[in-house]
Amino acid sequence: MPPYRLQTLLEMRERAEEASKQAFSEAMQALAKEKAEQKRLEEDLETRKRERKELVAAYFQEVMAKGAGAGGLTLMNRYEERLKNEEEQVALEIERQKEVVKTAEKLLEQRRLEMAEAAKEKKAIEKHKENWKKQVKHERDAREEMAQEEIGNALYLARQRKGAE
């Protein structure tokens, strides 16, 4: 069988498909990492809120037990505001992280489309090669059949001549 003239192209398509699969896998891992980071931030925010409530309640009990006046309550309010500001910062980080996750999801979808396109292109070349092999086999079989027919005709003619002599 003669060499397939598009073999190099087929190999290029196979490498492109493998590269696109690798890129898709990396994009999936990156998305999972970003989602995990978002979840961690959300859990951190919930923990901070719960701890703030507990700390403020404990501080309030301590201030009331000591009998401190407005000064103690002012300090408590400042402390609570500082904790709330930290929570707001974490909430902003969560919003930024949500945008990062959206970007990672878009990239993942783009990589999926690229992978599908690479697979389609490889499949087209493989189909061409398959059809080419069928055509080569058909042509070879036709040549063999013609050669067999010529041999048969030659033998028949040779017998005819022997019989005529």
DSSP letter at 160 equals: H
Sign of CA dihedral 68, 71, 75, 77: positive
State the pTM of this model: 0.72
- Taking 70 as the pLDDT cut, the residues of the chain under it are 67-72, 165
Q: Which residues of 2-39 are buried (b: 16+ CB within 10 A; e: fewer)?
A: eeeeeeeebeebeebbeebeebbeebeebbeebbeebe
Distance CA 90, CA 99 (A): 14
What pLDDT does residue 74 have?
Answer: 79
pLDDT for the residue numbered 40: 95
Q: What was the pLDDT predicted at 62?
A: 77
pLDDT at 2: 86
User: CB within 8 A of 72, min separation 6: which ones?
Assistant: 63, 66
Predicted local confidence at residue 44, as pLDDT: 94
Q: What is the pLDDT of residue 67?
A: 67
Cβ proximity of 13 and 114 under 8 Å:
no
Q: Which residue has the tokens 């403020």?
A: 56
What is the reported pLDDT for 68?
60
